[in-house]
A and B are shown apart, each in its own frame.
Chain A
Amino acid sequence: MTKYVATALILFVLTLPGLAAEPNSAPEAKSPSLDIPDVNTIVNKANLVAYYQGEDGKAKVTMTITNKQGQKREREFIILRKDVNDGGDQKYFIYFQRPADVRRMVYMVHKHTELQKDDDRWLYLPALDLVKRVAAGDKRTSFVGSDFLYEDVSGRSLAEDTHELIETTDDLFVIKNVPKKADSVEFSYYNVSIDRKTYVPMKMDYFDKEGKLYRIIESKKIEVIQEFPTVVISEVRDLKTGSKTEMEFGNVKYNINLNEEIFTERYLRQPPREATR
C-alpha cells in the first residue's frame, strides 16, 4: 500500500512541474540543453505515464477501425486495470460491449514483465459459460482485429529494447528504440517522441527491416484527469495496408480502489459493477 501511495506521490510530483511550468515555459525553452535527464530516466518515466498512472484505473474504450476502402468497424469495451507493482506486473479486465456478437465476453490478462515469463490470459464466453485459458501468443498480433497490437495496449517491456536519446527539441525528447532480439519483431527500430513536460509519448514511428517508415501511433488528444496527463484519443496508421484505428478513452478514472478479487474467475463469470456501469 505504501508503495502505491509513494508511486502516486511520485507521479503527482512529476506531473506538477509540468503543469506549473506551463505559463512561463518560454524562458525555460531558451536553455533546452540544461538538465536533460539520462535516457533510462526518460523511458522509465514515459512508461509509467503511459501505462501505470495511479494504482488502478478504468476507462470506456471506443475503437474505430477504418480500412483502406473506408469501411468502418467498431469495438467498445470497458477496461479495468490494477498495477501489481509500478513499472512491473499488472492485471487487466476487459469487458466487451460491442459489436453485438462479442457482447459480455471478458478478456483477462495477468501481465508479467519478466522477460522469460508469458502473460496469463483468459477468455470468458458467456453463451457457453466457458472460461477458456488462452495460450500465450505473439504480442505483436492485432488486438481485436484493430491496427493496435497487444503490445500497444498493455505496453512493451522496456528490457526488450535498447534506448538512445537521438534528439531533444524545445518540447520533445526523441528516443530511438532498437530490439535486442531483432528476429522476434517485425520492425527494425521505432522512435518515440516524448513530451518533455508531461512525459506523455506523443508519437511513435515504426521502421521496417528496410528502414522504411510503415506504422505511426499518435496521441491526438491529452487531458489532465485527476492530476494525471492522459491520452484520451490515440490513433494508429498502418501505411502498408492503408488501415487506421482510432482509440478513444472516455469516462477515465484513476485510483478507484479496485478489489484484487476482480481479476479472478469469479468476476470473469459474472463481471463486477465497475465493468458494467
Chain B
Amino acid sequence: MIRLRHTLIVVVIAATAYSLPASAQNDNQNTLDSFLRELPVEMHGFYEIRSGYRLRKDKYEKDMSVMETRLQVDLASSLDWADLKVKGDVIGDMVTEQADFDLREANIFARPTDFMDIKVGRQILTWGTGDLLFINDLFPKDWQSFFIGRDTEYLKAPSDAAKVSLFSDFVNLDIVYTPQFDLDRFISGERISYWNSNLGRLAGRDAIQGTNKPNRWFRDDEIAARLYKNINNYELAFYGYRGYWKSPGGQNAARNQAIFPDLNVYGASIRGAVGKGIGNFEFGYYESDDDQSGKNPLVNNSELRFLAGYTQEIGRDFTAGFQYYVEHMLDYGQHKDSMPVGLDRDRNRHVATVRLTKLLMNQNLRCSLFTYYSPSDKDVYMRPNLNYKATDSLALEAGANIFFGDYPSTFFSQFQNNTNIYVALRYSF
C-alpha cells in the first residue's frame, strides 16, 4: 500500500509539473521549462463512471455487477535513448467498497541496436490470432473485468516482465521472461458466482476460492517465445511457453485450494488475406506437465487446441467475423477412469463465435455484438455493446453480458445469474 501511495504522489507531482508551463512567465518557470524540454512528459488519460446491474437474482452476489468511478492517468516521456511510460488507474469501487489503484504499465523501452527492441517493467502483452479466444497468448487475462462489463482493454491484465525482440531479414524472435508467475484475474467468486464442483452447486462470496500459487521469484517464473515471419503479408508464427496454467488448472484436495500446475505450450499460427477477407488458423499443444499420463483427477489433462477464423466486410462500415474453436482432451480414457461418474468432462469442447460490428452516424456510433456459442456445452455468452462518441472527448456506452445454457455447470452456463447490463460515460483527455 505504501508503495502504491508513493506511485500516486509521483503521478500527482508529474501531473502538476506538466500543467505548469502553460503559465510560465518568469525565470523560475523558464528553468522548469528547459528542464521539461530535457524530460518532456506527455499526460493523457480519461475519467469514467460505470454502472451495471444483474438482471437476475443471484443469492451469492450483490445486485450491482459494476459500480465505479475510474481515473486513468497515462504519462509518457521520450528520451533520446529510451521511452518511459507509466499508466495507472485510480478506482473508487462501490461493489467491493474499496478504493483501489491498478498500475497498468510502468516500463522502459529501448532500441539499442538495429536488430533489437527491449521493454522492461509492467506491460500489457498480446500475441496470437484469435479474437477474444486465446491459445498461444498465455499472458494474464482479467476474466472478472471482462464478464462484469468493463472496457475490453481490461481483459488484458498487466505482466511484470522483460520482453526482448530480435529482428532479421530471415525471421523475428520475441522472448518474454516473467520472473514471478503472473496469474489470470480469474473467477474466484468474489464478484461473479460460479459452479463450485466441490460443493456441487453454484457459489459466490460464500465460497471464494482459496489458491496456492507459485510465487517464488526467479524460480516460479514463466518464459514465452514467438518466432515469426511475414511472407507476402501472410503472417506465420511459432510459439513456445513454459510456465503454469494461468487460471486454476487443478486442486489441492486436502487444503481445498485451487492450484496452478505446470504447463508447457507449443503452437503455431498463420494469418492473411483469404478471398475478400482475413483468415486465420492457430493451434497449440497444452502439455500439462504435472499430469503427463492424465491419471490424476485433480490436475488438468493435456490438450490440443485449435482455432480457425474468418473476417470480412459484408456491407458499408459493417464487418462480420466468425471463429471455430476446439479443445481436445488427451488421455481421455485415463480422465474418464479417474473421475467419479457424472463429473467427467466431454472429450471435446467446441465453441463458435460470431462478431458483428456496424458503424453509424459518421462512425461515431459503434454497434457490436460478440457471441460465443458452444454446441458441446450447449451454452451461450453474448456481448452486445453500443458506443457513441458524443464529442471528441466524451463517449457514452451501454452494453450487456448475457449468459445462458442447458446445464448448471458448463463454462458459460455457470455464470447465468451474472447476466448484467451496464452503462458508462467516459471523458478522455
A190 to chain B minimum Cβ distance, whole angstroms, is 19
CB within 8 Å of A: which residues of B?
Answer: 44-46, 78, 83, 109, 111, 117, 119, 123-127, 152-153, 155-156, 165, 167, 172, 228, 230, 233, 235, 271-273, 276-278, 280, 311-313, 316-317, 319, 362-364, 389, 391-393, 395, 426, 428-429
Asked if A73 and B391 sit within 8 Å, CB to CB, the answer is yes
Asked if B276 and A136 sit within 8 Å, CB to CB, the answer is yes
Closest-by-CB residue of B relative to A121 is B278
Select A145's contact among B126, B233, B273, B363, beta carbons within 8 Å.
Answer: B363
Contact A99/B428 with A110-B233, A264-B230 known, Cβ cut-off 8 Å: yes
B237 to chain A minimum Cβ distance, whole angstroms, is 10
Q: How far is the CA of A261 from the CA of B83 in the complex (A)?
A: 20
Q: How far is the CA of A253 from the CA of B126 in the complex (A)?
A: 34
A9 to chain B minimum Cβ distance, whole angstroms, is 30
Asked if B276 and A101 sit within 8 Å, CB to CB, the answer is no
Asked if A142 and B363 sit within 8 Å, CB to CB, the answer is yes
Render A127-171 as a binary contact track against B, CB cut-off 8 A, 1 for contact.
111110111111001101100000000000000000000000000
Contact A129/B313 with A99-B428, A100-B428 known, Cβ cut-off 8 Å: no
Closest-by-CB residue of B relative to A137 is B313
Asked if A127 and B124 sit within 8 Å, CB to CB, the answer is yes
B214 to chain A minimum Cβ distance, whole angstroms, is 24
Q: How far is the CA of A110 from the CA of B272 in the complex (A)?
A: 13
What residues of B have a CB within 8 angstroms of the CB of A110 in the complex? 233
Closest-by-CB residue of B relative to A65 is B362
Closest-by-CB residue of A relative to B80 is A273
Render A261-277 as a binary contact track against B, CB cut-off 8 A, 1 for contact.
10011100010000011
Q: How many A-B residue pairs have CB under 8 A?
A: 95
A98 adjacent to chain B (CB < 8 Å):
yes
B428 to chain A minimum Cβ distance, whole angstroms, is 4
B269 to chain A minimum Cβ distance, whole angstroms, is 12
Q: How far is the CA of A65 from the CA of B313 in the complex (A)?
A: 25
Closest-by-CB residue of B relative to A73 is B392
Asked if A130 and B392 sit within 8 Å, CB to CB, the answer is no
Asked if B276 and A129 sit within 8 Å, CB to CB, the answer is no
Chosen A-B contacts, 29 in total, with CB atoms closer than 8 Å, are A99-B393, A99-B428, A100-B44, A100-B46, A101-B46, A118-B273, A118-B276, A120-B273, A127-B124, A128-B152, A128-B155, A129-B123, A129-B126, A130-B126, A131-B127, A133-B235, A133-B280, A134-B278, A135-B276, A141-B316, A142-B317, A145-B364, A243-B362, A265-B228, A265-B235, A266-B117, A266-B172, A270-B109, A270-B111
Closest-by-CB residue of B relative to A134 is B278
Q: How far is the CA of A182 from the CA of B77 in the complex (A)?
A: 51
Q: How far is the CA of A100 from the CA of B278 in the complex (A)?
A: 29
What residues of A have a CB within 8 angstroms of the CB of B428 in the complex? 99-101
Asked if A120 and B124 sit within 8 Å, CB to CB, the answer is no
